[in-house]
Structure 1
Amino acid sequence: MWYLYGLALLAGIANAVQGGTNATLAKALGQPFAAGLVVALGTGSTLLLTGLALGRFQWPGLVQAAQVPAWAWFGGCLGALVIVSQFFAAQAIGAAPFLGLLVTAGVATSIVLDHFGWIGFAVHAASPWRIVGGLLMVVGVTLVALF
């Protein structure tokens, strides 16, 4: 299971780099939404090729698809919001404040999602320590953004 922490660390690094690459692509093309489609095609192609290479790609059947909660189909829309924010905000405010805000907002939201067990997460109470940790992240991102 330790490798999952490594995967999360690599994803964090990729998330920091991706804001710059996506914003540069949008600026160079002069068409942010066309750049978004290029990013989405790159994402889809990478997932398809990786799944095929690992022998883990399989289309779900209609019965499986019908059992998915309606809200679970909108993850791609949320991903598009992240990409659009990279196009318009990342280079303007800087990599550190952008990613700091992205991660801190994600942690604060995650504390709430965990506390109530919403959207498929197991319940983990919003203990005082978790809340303090979230608040410290807010303080940290504020310092990064100001200085």
Structure 2
Amino acid sequence: MILLYGAVLIAGIANAIQPGQTTQLAKSLGEPFTAGLISMFVGTLGMFTIGLISGHLTVPSAQQASQAPWWAWIGGLVGVGLLIAQLFVAQRVGAAPFLAILVTAGVVTSIALDHFGLVGFEVHAAGPMRLVGGGLMIAGVMLVALS
């Protein structure tokens, strides 16, 4: 389990760094959407390469594809929304408020997703500790974003 938490820690660090990388590319190229497209292409190429190397890249069968709920197919669009926010918002509000709001919104949303078992997550009740934790994160965002 400690290795899994370590992987999430690294992903969190990457999540803080990526908006700066993407907006710097946009500044250098002079066009945010071009930079966003390049970022998504490099990410796609990375996933393709890792999938090939690991041997876990397959083409789904028609039956497998038809079993996925409709909303499972639009996860990439959610990623596009995040990328657009990075390109047009992160530099204006700053790295700390951007990531504080991003992570806190994710945690609060995740509490609801877990509680109701939405989008494929198993039910984990939103008990008092989770609710207090979400509230403390909201208070933390206010301290970071309003200072």
Give me the TM-score of the superposition, normalised by structure 1: 0.96
Quick one: which amino acid aligns to residue 33 of structure 2? F
Say if 2:116 is the partner of 1:125.
no
CA deviations over 1:101-135 (Å, ceiling 9, x no partner):
00000001001111100110010111111111001
Say if 2:91 is the partner of 1:91.
yes
Q: CA deviation at 1:28?
A: 2.0
CA deviations over 1:61-118 (Å, ceiling 9, x no partner):
1111111100100100000000000001111111111000000000010011111001
Structure 1 stretch displaced more, 113-122 or 57-66:
57-66
Matches within 5 A, 1:6-17: 6-17=6-17
Find the counterpart in structure 1 of residue 28 from structure 2.
28
Quick one: which amino acid aligns to residue 132 of structure 1? V
Q: Distance in 2 between matches of 1:27 and 1:126?
A: 42
Quick one: which amino acid aligns to residue 29 of structure 2? L
Find the counterpart in structure 2 of residue 18 from structure 1.
18
Percent sequence identity over matched residues? Answer: 54
Equivalent residues, number: 147
Find the counterpart in structure 2 of residue 37 from structure 1.
37
Find the counterpart in structure 1 of residue 134 from structure 2.
134
Q: Give the root-mean-square deviation of aligned CA atoms.
A: 0.9
CA deviations over 1:37-84 (Å, ceiling 9, x no partner):
101101100001011111211111111111110010010000000000
Q: Distance in 1 between matches of 2:118 and 2:27?
A: 37
Q: Distance in 2 between matches of 1:80 and 1:30?
A: 19
Q: Distance in 2 between matches of 1:25 and 1:74?
A: 26
- Where does structure 1 differ by over 6 angstroms across 4 or more consecutive aligned residues? none
Find the counterpart in structure 2 of residue 53 from structure 1.
53
Unaligned runs of 5+ in 2: none
Q: Distance in 2 between matches of 1:73 and 1:57?
A: 17
Q: Distance in 1 between matches of 2:8 and 2:59?
A: 26
Q: Distance in 1 between matches of 2:144 and 2:3?
A: 29
Q: Distance in 1 between matches of 2:6 and 2:51?
A: 20
Structure 1 stretch displaced more, 110-119 or 1-10:
1-10
Q: Distance in 2 between matches of 1:8 and 1:59?
A: 27
Q: Distance in 2 between matches of 1:119 and 1:45?
A: 26
Q: Distance in 1 between matches of 2:30 and 2:61?
A: 40
